Amino acid sequence: MRKFNKKLVLSIVALVMISTLGIGKALGYFTTHTNATGGYKMDLGFTDTKIEEDVDKDGKHVVITNVGDYDCFVRIKVFAADNLKIRYNLGKDWQESDDGYIYYNKVLSSKDKTSELNIKYTLPEVNDDNKDKDYNIVVIQEFTPVVYDDQGNLIANWQQVYETE
pLDDT, tens digit, 9 for 90 and up, residues 127-160: 777 777 777 889 999 998 888 889 988 888 888 7
Output the pLDDT for position 27: 57
Q: With 70 as the cut, is the pLDDT of residue 4 above it? A: no
pLDDT band at 77 (very low <50, low <70, confident <90, very high): very high
The residue-averaged pLDDT of 101-118 equals 94
**Mind giving me the DSSP string for the chain?**
-HHHHHHHHHHHHHHHHHHTTTHHHHHHHHTS----------------EEEEEEEETTEEEEEEEE-SSS-EEEEEEEE--TTSEEEEE-TTTEEE-TTS-EEE-S-B-TT-BPPPEEEEEEPPPP-TTTTT-----EEEEEEEEEEE-TTS-EEE-TT------
Single pTM value for the model: 0.67
Once rounded to an integer, what is the mean pLDDT over residues 106-135?
A: 85
Q: What is the mean pLDDT of residues 119-128?
A: 81
Higher pLDDT, 90 or 129: 90
